[in-house]
Chain A
Amino acid sequence: MATLFQGLAAVTPLSPSNSIESNKLLFSSRRSLSERKGNNFVVRSDAKVNKVLKSGAARKHELLIPNAVATQGSSSVASASKPGHELLLFEALREGLEEEMERDPTVCVMGEDVGHYGGSYKVTRNLAEKFGDLRVLDTPIAENAFTGMGIGAAMTGLRPIIEGMNMGFLLLAFNQISNNCGMLHYTSGGQFKIPVVIRGPGGVGRQLGAEHSQRLESYFQSIPGIQMVACSTPYNAKGLMKAAIRSDNPVILFEHVLLYNLKERIPDEEYVLSLEEAEMVRPGEHVTILTYSRMRYHVMQAAKTLVNKGYDPEVIDIRSLKPFDLHTIGNSIKKTHRVLIVEECMRTGGIGASLTAAITENFHDYLDAPIICLSSQDVPTPYAGTLEEWTVVQPAQIVTAVEQLCQ
Chain B
Amino acid sequence: MALSRLASSSTVGSNLIKPITAAISLHHRPISSDATTTLTIETSLPFTAHNCSPPSTSVTTTPSELLSFFRTMALMRRMEIAADSLYKSKLIRGFCHLYDGQEAVAVGMEASTTKKDCIITAYRDHCTFLGRGGTLIEVYSELMGRIDGCSKGKGGSMHFYKKDSGFYGGHGIVGAQVPLGCGLAFGQKYLKDESVTFALYGDGAANQGQLFEALNIAALWDLPAILVCENNHYGMGTAEWRAAKSPAYYKRGDYVPGLKVDGMDVLAVKQAVKFAKEHALQNGPLILEMDTYRYHGHSMSDPGSTYRTRDEISGVRQERDPIERVRKLILSHDIATEKELK
- A189 and B187 form a contact (CB under 8 A): no
Give how many A-B residue pairs fall within 8 Å (CB-CB): 131
- A154 and B183 form a contact (CB under 8 A): yes
Give the number of chain A interface residues (Cβ < 8 Å): 35
* In the bound complex, CA of A176 to CA of B209 (Å): 13
A192 and B183 contact, Cβ closer than 8 Å, known pairs A186-B154, A187-B154: no
- B179 and A147 form a contact (CB under 8 A): yes
Give the number of chain B interface residues (Cβ < 8 Å): 43
A142 and B183 contact, Cβ closer than 8 Å, known pairs A179-B176, A191-B163: no
* In the bound complex, CA of A201 to CA of B118 (Å): 34
Contact among B162, B183, B190, B210 with A151 in the assembled complex (CB-CB below 8 Å): B183
- A158 and B187 form a contact (CB under 8 A): yes
Neighbouring A residues of B168 by C-beta, 8 Å: 152, 155, 192
A39 within 8 A of B: no
- A192 and B179 form a contact (CB under 8 A): no
* In the bound complex, CA of A140 to CA of B221 (Å): 11
Neighbouring A residues of B190 by C-beta, 8 Å: 106, 108, 134-135, 153, 158
Most chain B CB atoms below 10 A, which of A137, A142, A186, A191: A191
> A160: nearest residue on chain B (CB-CB)?
B183
A153 and B184 contact, Cβ closer than 8 Å, known pairs A148-B214, A158-B190, A175-B173: yes
* In the bound complex, CA of A154 to CA of B120 (Å): 14
Contact among B151, B162, B163, B181 with A152 in the assembled complex (CB-CB below 8 Å): B181
Within 8 A of A (CB), among B198-230: 209-210, 213-214, 216-217, 220-221
- B216 and A142 form a contact (CB under 8 A): yes
> B120: nearest residue on chain A (CB-CB)?
A152
| Binary contact track A174-192/B, C-beta < 8 Å → 1, others 0 | 0110011000101111111
A313 within 8 A of B: no
* In the bound complex, CA of A153 to CA of B168 (Å): 11
- A149 and B182 form a contact (CB under 8 A): yes
- A152 and B217 form a contact (CB under 8 A): no
> B193: nearest residue on chain A (CB-CB)?
A156
B271 within 8 A of A: no
* In the bound complex, CA of A147 to CA of B154 (Å): 24
Chain A's nearest CB lies how many Å from the CB of B58? Answer: 35
- B149 and A152 form a contact (CB under 8 A): no
B130 within 8 A of A: no
* In the bound complex, CA of A190 to CA of B150 (Å): 10
B159 within 8 A of A: yes
- A157 and B187 form a contact (CB under 8 A): yes
- B210 and A179 form a contact (CB under 8 A): no
* Known A152-B179, A152-B187, A192-B161; further 17 A-B contacts with Cβ < 8 A: A134-B189, A134-B190, A142-B213, A144-B209, A144-B210, A145-B213, A148-B214, A149-B182, A152-B120, A154-B187, A155-B183, A156-B118, A156-B187, A187-B159, A188-B155, A188-B161, A191-B161
6 contacts between A and B (CB under 8 A): A145-B217, A151-B179, A152-B183, A176-B179, A187-B155, A188-B151
